[in-house]
Structure 1
């Protein structure tokens, strides 16, 4: 007759299972955090680089002041605004009400990290999507100093209503926390630019 099977001590085995489960859980959380950070912050790095998208030449000679040229580049809508003195004046009035006036948190080529966020004050080139949920934008024409609230016009996110000035800078107390994205582009003449080329 065989002896009854003696119960094994399973405590060491449980300990190893617990350690393995914790290590795998930490690795999973770490991978998730890495993916989220690369999605949020990764697009900010390398903003000066043209990337894989082919260059797109855009003629602007026929665009009147205050007009917007809408094109598609790199699978996203790009708007090119020909600013007027009224728009620049509206931006100057809202300068103290901006969340990120120096564009430190925003994505744009380093050469365009200036007050007008562009290669020349007359032109503003930007990705026409809100910066919090990638929603389409609406254009709001410039308003006079006494009209409406203190905001002088610009762009509004259609989903949550975040407001941006004519340089794409987000106002304080808005759902969005970053200015509109400026893609890499180069002005080759006063009325022609190439999207996808790094500024020189």
Structure 2
């Protein structure tokens, strides 16, 4: 009887330690698998193909749109090339421009403005009329530089995707 009890205790303790070892192995494996999945996601995001928009026959005030990844990018052939205003009290530190962009027009060429076609709500497209972009959800208004028109909406401005000019094409998806 005593030998049988000892045998069951040894078997029970052995199963406990084997189960504990398997649990720890699964946990450690899941940590490395998630890290590898995250690395693959980052690589996939970096490998989003560049898309091109032909601007050879655009007219002033015209917008051309293209699907870039999960976003919709657009190019505006500006009617008015107003310079971006740099007010003393505004929070201009949020606007980190790429070195190829002009600080006065927020674009490479002053006559074209490349932007992501959604406002501060993130889901609603922009409506362009009379030299201004209107966010259809939040009713915020942006000028042709993608900056807010009214002082109470200074916390957001239109996003500029990486792009460059290649002849009559604008390639969206990478800086040159």
Q: Give the alignment's TM-score, normalised by structure 2.
A: 0.64
Question: In structure 1, what is the equivalent of residue 116 of structure 2?
Answer: 127
Q: Distance in 1 between matches of 2:121 and 2:99?
A: 22
**Residue 50 of structure 2 contacts residue 174 of structure 2 at CA under 8 Å; is this kept in 1?**
yes
Match of 1:181 in 2: 159
Q: Which residue matches 1:139?
A: 128
1:167 aligns to 2:156 (yes or no): no
The correspondence for 2:61, drawn from 63, 66, 72, is: 66
More helix by share: 2
CA distance in 1, matches of 2:89, 2:111: 23
CA distance in 2: counterparts of 1:166 and 1:98, whole angstroms: 21
Aligned equivalents of 1:99, 1:193: Cα separation in 2 = 34
**Structure 1: stretches of 5+ with no match in the other structure:** 1-49, 143-153
3-state secondary structure, aligned to 2:64: strand
The residue number in structure 1 matching 2:24 is none
Aligned residues: 132
CA RMSD of aligned residues (A): 2.7
Query: Aligned equivalents of 2:49 and 2:165: distance in 1?
Result: 16
Residue ranges of structure 2 left out of the alignment (5+ in a row): 1-44
Which consecutive segments of 4 or more residues in structure 1 shift more than 4 A?
96-102
Compute the displacement of 1:171 (Å).
2.5
Bigger Rg, structure 1 or 2: 2
